[in-house]
A and B are shown apart, each in its own frame.
Chain A
């Protein structure tokens, strides 16, 4: 993660948040569309839900902090 306490660091953190958000929305939309057209939905839905959960866990919840020391 970028250095804290700097304007630059804050900007890039916010930009990262927005990028993740866009990815989430896109995945969710794909999920919704696939559900209208495809079969075998349990498989597809799982495959599409896992990356969404992973994005949130990794970028929004900073799960890395559990095993990696960081300043904050």
Chain B
């Protein structure tokens, strides 16, 4: 059962996800206290192992915030991250869990609004499920 204040780990690429989070904070937007933010040098550093480990340690959901396709500073980090997320979503379904527990979210650096909305949407999905 997911508690009222779900624990969400946001793995954030230093180039996009992290600035978007900072932007959301600077705008004073509502972000849940259960949000844990992990900065990574690139979305491509969001290893399959990290994502699973977060759920294993008790997170209710994992979000990967990386750059839009074609914008990765390291050419294909974001694409690798998305593929790993898709792979894990499939696995989650097979073990009877909601695939929505792991989501890939491309964001632009100055999109605090979108960051906050995506997190809120994830909270709603978790509570609704």
Q: Do A and B come from one complex?
A: no
A contact residues vs B (CB 8 Å cutoff): none
